[in-house]
């Protein structure tokens, strides 16, 4: 029995990912700050990934109940969008606040660090494992109004490459996925004009589905990807932002 922790698993890409791993026969520990449902044969844990003590406790519980941890999917993330500075009629109208910046850093970047730090000793004890980190196409290309979010997604790519170097000797592979425009509940609430613009920037002519990302995670965790580490897989329909 292989075991996986999926963070941010109550909805969207995280839920689809937890479901796919369950279909593949994994025992799944689904984590989220919101209430959610366990997958068949798995557990649900209410965990704030920015709280190191909570993460440590949840890893201990998951490893004990599931019999170890083989895969970690660092999917949890939040948005607090805003321009760095916004001028209107020649005067400063708004700035990105410290709260906006820090909240996103704490979940999207430090949360990935905290979860991985807690899980790696379990993987080493178990003879290896796979860490999969959620980046984004905006972490590669940048995006208007997302200083905080882009910083975290670029930072995740950097950490992925460091950990691939550090943890390879323990047979732990570390990779990131950079999703494009994915039709999650959060995205579907955007104005229709914005959604059509996203599709217009995507050569394949559609938004991705959460399952597209989940399938990529499952494949990267599998033995078929056993010689892949330290890489970033774009799952984006060919999108190039800002064009």
∠ CA 117-125-226, rounded to 5°: 80
Helix residue ranges, H only, the chain: 12-23, 52-66, 98-104, 110-125, 137-141, 147-167, 185-188, 192-200, 210-221
Residue 92 sits at φ, ψ, to 5 deg, of -65, 120
Q: Residue 6's CB: how many other CB atoms inside 10 A?
A: 32
d(CA 128, CA 63): 14
**Sign of the CA dihedral 123, 219, 26, 182?**
positive
Active site residues: 149
Q: Which of 209, 118, 220, 211 is nearest to 177 (CA)?
A: 220
Q: In the chain, how many H helices and how many E strands?
A: 9, 9
Q: What is the predicted pLDDT for the residue at 187?
A: 80
Q: What is the predicted pLDDT for the residue at 240?
A: 73
Q: What is the predicted pLDDT for the residue at 30?
A: 98
Q: What is the predicted pLDDT for the residue at 185?
A: 83
Is 38 exposed, middle or buried, given 0-12, 13-18 or 19+ CB atoms closer than 10 A? Answer: middle
Q: What is the CATH number of domain 3-235?
A: 3.40.50.720
Say if CB 109 and CB 155 are below 8 A apart.
yes
* Residue pLDDT tens, the chain, 243 long: 899 999 999 999 999 999 999 999 999 999 999 999 999 999 999 999 999 999 999 999 999 999 999 999 999 999 999 999 999 999 999 999 999 999 999 999 999 999 999 999 999 999 999 999 999 999 999 988 999 999 999 999 999 999 999 999 999 999 999 999 999 887 888 888 888 888 998 999 999 999 999 999 999 999 999 999 999 999 999 997 554
**CA 151 to the chain's CA centroid:** 14
Q: What is the predicted pLDDT for the residue at 241?
A: 59
Domain boundaries, the chain: 3-235
């Amino acid at each position: 029995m292989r075991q996986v922790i999926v963070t941010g698993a109550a909805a969207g890409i995280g839920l689809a990912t937890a479901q796919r791993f369950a279909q593949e026969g994994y025992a799944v520990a689904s984590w989220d700050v919101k209430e959610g449902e366990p997958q068949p044969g798995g557990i649900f844990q209410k965990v704030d990934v920015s709280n190191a003590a909570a993460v440590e406790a949840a890893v201990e519980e998951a490893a004990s109940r599931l019999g170890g941890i083989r895969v970690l999917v660092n999917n949890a993330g939040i948005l607090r969008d805003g321009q760095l500075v916004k001028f209107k009629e020649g005067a400063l109208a708004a700035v990105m606040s410290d709260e906006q910046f820090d909240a996103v850093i704490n979940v999207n970047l430090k949360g990935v660090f905290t979860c991985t730090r807690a899980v790696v000793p379990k993987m080493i004890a178990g003879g290896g494992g796979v860490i999969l980190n959620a980046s984004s196409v905006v972490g590669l290309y940048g995006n208007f109004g997302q200083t905080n979010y882009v910083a975290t997604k670029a930072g995740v790519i950097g950490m992925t490459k460091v950990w691939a170097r550090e943890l390879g000797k323990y047979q732990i592979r570390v990779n990131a996925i950079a999703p494009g425009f994915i039709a999650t509940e959060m995205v579907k609430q955007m104005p229709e004009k914005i959604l059509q613009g996203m599709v217009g920037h995507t050569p394949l002519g559609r938004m991705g589905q959460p399952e597209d990302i989940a399938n990529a995670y499952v494949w990267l965790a599998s033995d078929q990807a056993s010689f892949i580490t330290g890489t970033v897989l774009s799952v984006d329909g060919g999108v190039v932002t800002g064009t």
